[in-house]
Structure 1
Amino acid sequence: MKFNRRAFLGTTVGALAAPMIVRAAGHGGKPRVVVVGGGAGGATAARYIAKDSAGEIDVTLIEPTRAYYTCFFSNLYIGGFRDMDSLGHSYGNLAATYGINVLHDWATGVDRDAKTVMTAGGYNLPYDRLILSPGIDFVDGAVAGWDVSAANAMPHAYKAGSQTELLRAQIDAMPQGGVFAMVAPPNPYRCPPGPYERVSMVAHRLKETNPTAKILIADPKESFSKQGLFEEGWNNHYAGMIERIGPDFGGADVEVDPVAMTVSIDGDVNNVDVCNVIPAMKAGRIAEIAGVTDGNWAPVNAADLSSRMDENVHVLGDAAAQGDMPKSGFSANSQAKVCANAVRGALTGSTVFPARFANTCWSLIETNDGVKVGATYEATEEKIAKVDGFVSATGESAAVREATYQESVGWYDGITADMFS
């Protein structure tokens, strides 16, 4: 079925009783919401709170970049299916249409007692509710021999933009018959199918420009998302090009040398031409600074994404430890709508709907060969819990796979409109 924006934007039905109104002294007595991070979670939450509160809530969005480049679909840039401009989105409409104060700055501190957010630019912003959607950072020392200072030599490209452009340029500059290596991340991490869609897109590009090149994957995981679908696709489209080394053969024992351009797997040293290091991940730094993480991720209550450490702080998307939902753009957008509804209700007394969540992750393996996995979820006292799910089947027809890819394009247009339009 072709994905349509109306279906995408539809949310929940059935209202809960309105909560007590909690007001604080903002501009003109308005309650204040500060949102940190302007991605699929933060931009969506800011837009929905501002749009649906009709000016009753003062909303500030703190985001250092002036253009947001989506991590989702960035692999398609690497494969040559999209250009970088198609992945970039402006915050201008959030300010002009919804009256959101978009502050291009870094959030550097949170005082939860005083309920303020400090920025690198010297601002000290009060809040009644704080929404953190900072995405991911990398775990120090996760890959021996690599840290973020080596990201120019061995890009992670797991924060879209210049890193994505760098990785594609390195792939295009590979010598004929060269080796592309990927160090895959351990669970949990942003976009579970992402590294393997990336392998597919690198293989697609190399098949066209460098058909004798090889791809080597060092993977610490026993299995990965959509594994049967990817392996089927690799065999059909890129036979003999891709080798994955799992933990049984040393895929969890990896060391890299960004100067020598080598990857050591269980002591076996491999000379490579390009190395994409995707380290272990944790919540974006501001969540740790705010004191709402368990050391890596931020535990939240399922019903409203409020922090388990502070009911006035909410954490969305990749940074949240919420239960069964994968860390994805779709998940962050879905969580943001639930959170926005709950925050608006708490601050203005508006109707709060029962929390319902959904996610779908699409991946492109080769031209018009799209696959997907997804599920619906509900809030329990313990976590966001999976209700049911679906996944593409191996052996599907070319027509079904093309329809799946076209569905993903419709979703991309829908979610970016939902975030920024």
Structure 2
Amino acid sequence: MNINRRHFLTLSGVGAATVAMPAISLGQAKPKVVVIGGGPGGATVARYIAKDSKGAVDVTLIEASKRYYTCFFSNLFLGGFRDYASIGHGYDQLASNHGVNVVHDWASAVDPAARKVTLASGASLGYDKLVLSPGIDMKYDSVPGYSVEAQGTMPHAWKSGTQVQQLKSMVENMKEGGTFVMVPPPNPYRCPPGPYERISMIAHILKQKNPTAKIIVLDPKPKFSKQALFQEGWEKHYPGMVEWIAPDIHGGIVNVNPSTMEIETDLDMFKADAASVVPAQKAGSIAAAAGVTDGDWAPVNPANMASKADPNIHVLGDASVASAMPKSGFSANSQAKVVANAVRGELTGSKVFDPRFANTCWSLIATNDGVKVGANYTAGSDKIEPTSKFISQTGEDEALRKKTYEESEGWYRGITADMFS
């Protein structure tokens, strides 16, 4: 299936209807929207507010990185199916095509009462509406012995950036017959199937370069997304290589020691030649600074993703409490369109459509062996609720699995165009 951009927009819950924007009186200041975070949520919401308001709203996007490397599909780079440059994207077209003011800086503080954002450079920006899409921060101390420093030896590689390059190099340079150990995160976390696609991609590398190597997964969860599909795939493509150990067996992580590359559990001490430790997560720190989190995540109203703490701040993507919707790039992109419609409507008087949400998470297990899970959602009175669900089935034929993988590649082209073009 070749997903083009038009089809992707339909999947994401964007209809073809358009409405005329009301005229702004001459001399009247434009309403100002500030968006913090330039990922699939932030870049998309900035683009849609600017594009669909036809210049009636002043939109500023604050993003520290000048080039954004997607977390989704970084596992395919890890497995050798993509090069690193292919998952990197710039912001130039948001400015040139839609008039978004892109500021490459860190947002350091938010004053909700004054409706002002302060940047690390010392500059400040006023807003009528603030949209937060800051992604995640790591709770390093959720894994005993893990720390900011430890990620240099046992990288989590769970955020946009170069750690995935480091991890790939570590795996490729493991000794013959060595052991890779992964500690996945507890729920909730970014990209529920992601750790297990990562295991699949590392197994793909090792099968080619180090076929006697072993992979041990010390999971804090008793079950995981697409479990039957992944375990079927591991047995089919990488027999005897992957050992997934549930918490009722290993008893919990007692300590990780980056200097000795040892992971201690109640069951045993595991010595790793390379390792990835992904700790528990929380909303990016600016959400807490804005006063919109419950300590970890930001509760929102389901109809428009407005913060339950401040109606002038909308929170979307991984940082939000979106009920049944998983923390994924597709979810963030879908939520961004709902927020853009709601914000534009409130600021300009344009029509606000009923919110529609969607998500699909694709995973690659081996060459041309793609699987997926997803759902469509509606905004209930208290939470976002699924209206339909789907998942790949075990035992599917090779042609269907190949088609699913090709569908994921079409989705990647579609979502990155939707974010950045």
Match of residue 138 from structure 1: 138
Instruction: Provide the C-alpha distance between the structure 2 equivalents of 1:16 and 1:73, rounded to a whole number of angstroms.
Output: 32
Q: Which residue identity is paired with 1:281? A: Q
Query: C-alpha distance in 2, partners of 1:254/1:135?
Result: 28
Shift of 1:31: 0.3
The aligned counterpart of 1:54 is 54
Paired residue type of 2:80: G
| Paired position in structure 1 for 2:317 | 317
Q: Which residue of 1 aligns with 2:31?
A: 31
Answering whether residue 295 of structure 2 is matched by residue 303 of structure 1, we say no
Deviation string, structure 1 residues 343-365 (Cα, Å, up to 9, x no partner): 00000001110000000000000
Map of 2:391 onto structure 1? 391
**Distance (Å, rounded) in 2 between the aligned partners of 1:419 and 1:181:** 34
Total equivalences in the alignment: 418
CA contact (8 A) 1:13 1:354 kept: no
Distance (whole Å) between structure 1 residues aligned to residue 16 and residue 2 of structure 2: 27
**Match for 1:330: what amino acid?**
F
Moved more, 363-372 or 1-10: 1-10
Aligned-residue offset at 1:4: 2.6
Q: CA deviation at 1:322?
A: 1.6
CA–CA distance in structure 1, aligned partners of residues 361 and 107 of structure 2:
30
Looking at structure 1, the residues matched to 209 and 244 of structure 2 have their Cα atoms a distance apart, in angstroms, of 22
Residue 50 of structure 2 aligns with an amino acid whose one-letter code is A
C-alpha distance in 2, partners of 1:24/1:293?
37
Compared CA separation, residues 405 and 51, structure 1 to 2 (3 A): same
1:44 corresponds in structure 2 to: 44
- In the alignment, the residues of structure 1 paired with residue 18 and residue 54 of structure 2 have an alpha-carbon distance, to the nearest angstrom, of 21
Asked whether the 8 Å contact 1:77–1:84 carries over to 2, the reply is: yes
Q: For residues 326-356 of structure 1, what are the alpha-carbon distances to aligned partners after superposition, in whole Å with 9 as ceiling and x for unaligned? A: 0000000000000000000000001110000
CA distance, structure 2, for counterparts of residue 262 and residue 140 of structure 1:
17
What letter corresponds to residue 306 of structure 1 in structure 2? A
Separation in 2, partners of 1:267, 1:330: 38
Give 5+ residue unaligned stretches, structure 1. Answer: none
Work out the CA distance in 1 between the residues paired with 2:403 and 2:17. 35
- The 3 A distance-change label for structure 1 pair 47 and 89 is same
- Aligned-pair Cα RMSD in Å: 2.0
Deviation, structure 1 residue 158: 0.3
- Structure 1 residues 316 and 24 mapped into 2: Cα distance closer, same or farther (>3 Å)? farther
1:378 alignment partner in structure 2: 378
Aligned equivalents of 1:282, 1:116: Cα separation in 2: 23
Identity, in percent, stands at 60
Once the two structures are superposed, residues 79-115 of structure 1 have per-residue CA deviations (whole angstroms, 9 ceiling, x without a partner) of 0000000000000111111111100000000000000
Q: How does 1:1-400 map to 2 (within 5 A)?
A: 1-10=1-10, 11-12=13-14, 29-250=29-250, 252-266=252-266, 268-400=268-400
CA distance in 1, matches of 2:119, 2:249: 46
Secondary structure of the residue aligned to 2:244 is strand
Note closer, same or farther for the CA distance 1:378–1:175 as it changes in structure 2 (3 Å cut).
Answer: same
Cα deviation for residue 9 of structure 1 reads: 1.2
Give the deviation of 1:266 after TM superposition.
1.5
TM-score relative to the length of structure 1: 0.96
Structure 2 CA distance for aligned equivalents of residues 419 and 150 of structure 1? 33
Q: Distance in 2 between matches of 1:383 and 1:210?
A: 47
Distance 1:166 1:87 in 2: 16
Cα deviation, 1:301-343, whole Å, max 9, x if unaligned, reads 1111000000000001000002110000000000000000000
Distance 1:128-1:167 versus aligned 2 partners, 3 A rule: same
**2:19–2:350: 8 Å Cα contact kept in structure 1?**
no
CA distance in 2 between counterparts of 1:378 and 1:116 reads: 32
Q: 1:251 & 1:138 partners in 2: Cα distance? A: 23
2:167 maps to a residue whose letter is L
Deviation, structure 1 residue 211 = 0.4
Q: Which residue of 1 aligns with 2:415?
A: 415
Q: Aligned partners of 2:15, 2:67: CA distance in 1, in Å?
A: 34
Unpaired segments of 5 or more residues in structure 2? none
- Counterpart AA for 1:106: W
